[in-house]
Amino acid sequence: MLSRTAENLYWTGRYIERAENLARVLDVSYRNALLDLPGSSAESEWRDALASLGSPPQFAERKQKLDEGDITRFFTVDTDSPCSIKFCVHAARENARALRAVISTEMWESINTTWLALSDLDESGLRARGLREFLDWVKDRSHLFRGISHSTSLHNDAFHFLRLGTFLERADSTARLLDTKYQSLAGMDAEAAGTIYYAWGAVLRQASAFRAYHQTYHDVITPQRVAELLTLRREMPRSLRFCANQVVEHLDALGGTRDLESQRLAGELHALLRFARIDRVLSRGIHDFLAEIIRRLAELSAQMAQDFLMTV
């Protein structure tokens, strides 16, 4: 396969996943900002949201306010923002446009339909429609695209590159989300009734893991277990370990017996997550651990670019 094709597939996967992650973060922040929680405020919720979305410099440069209005516009329908859902869907669509001979018709139609529905949505349209309804729609479209790719395209190299984009983006997003929350909630009064429940419950919701948590632990919410669920649990589809495992599988399918350096890096990352224990991770400091994961993810995608002659 042409390297550019692989690159287009990889970025299609990444941008769709990124749009979904944006929707998740904004959705939960919006919900939490409405609650009057002790030790928290609407402003601190939006500050966390901005941090877990990587605090893009464009946001500060353009003198945006740390409030719901500016943040939700900047990350949803702002045409000039390189971090908006609109931007991501457009980028995914442009990448997919070059792939029409490679991807299934259904995949193209799904992504094209999403873009057509989004292309003329502006802020007033967004407010009229309702932010949360819009964000739910974005998540649905992302799920739909993933499902369609899974069941209509050949599970060949093209599919592997698409999925690599999905899981590298997702791992990065989960790591940043957890890191932000650990830092901002560190000083929280653990005795305050319900505080932990609301604050960490929100983190779980962001990762669609609220119910998964209860099914897994059958117990009250604790920060330690949330961390474990989102980093080390094998069966949790947004956990770091799950993502790393997927990356290993897809890279192995692509690299076969070539023993690429990226296969080795992915294996190492997966081993780190597979054989870690949450108590050790926490006692040594989860921030360092997550920073290490984020660094390795970046290294891995740079290595993939080399191994497959892509420019990512």
**161 vs 200, which CB is nearer to another protein?**
161
Q: What is the Cα 89 distance to its own chain's centre?
A: 14
* Closest approach of another protein to the CB of residue 19, in Å: 21
Amino acid at 221: I
Question: Would the CA dihedral through 67, 70, 74, 77 be positive or negative?
Answer: positive
- CA distance linking residue 308 with residue 186, whole number of Å: 41
Q: Which residue has the tokens 């997927």?
A: 246
Least distance to another protein, CB of residue 258, Å:
8
- Distance (Å, rounded) from C-alpha 17 to C-alpha 93? 13
Residue closer to another protein by CB (options 200, 308) is 308
Question: In the bound complex, what is the minimum distance in angstroms from residue 296's beta carbon to another protein?
Answer: 22
CB of 112: closest distance to another protein in angstroms?
A: 9
User: Closer to another protein at the Cβ: 28 or 254?
Assistant: 254
DSSP-derived secondary structure for 100-165: TTTS-HHHHHHHHHHHHHHHT--HHHHHHH-HHHHHHHHHHHHHHHHHHHHHHS-SSHHHHHHHHH
Q: Least distance to another protein from the beta carbon of 79, Å?
A: 16
78 phi/psi in degrees, rounded to 5? -65, 120
* CB 225, min distance to another protein, A: 40
* Region label for 279, one of left (φ > 0), alpha (ψ between -120 and 50) or beta (otherwise): alpha
User: How many Å apart are CA 292 and CA 62, to the nearest integer?
Assistant: 31
Least Cβ distance, residue 65 to another protein (angstroms): 35
Nearer to another protein, 258 or 280 (CB): 258
Nearest CB to another protein, comparing residues 117 and 186: 117
User: Toward another protein, which CB reaches closer, 83 or 253?
Assistant: 253
**Which residue, 73, 254, 22, is CA-closest to 160?**
254
**Between 21 and 262, CB nearer to another protein:** 262
List residues near another protein by CB under 8 A.
1-6, 97-98, 100-101, 105, 108-109, 157, 161, 254, 308-310
Encoding tokens for residue 196?
A: 């932990």
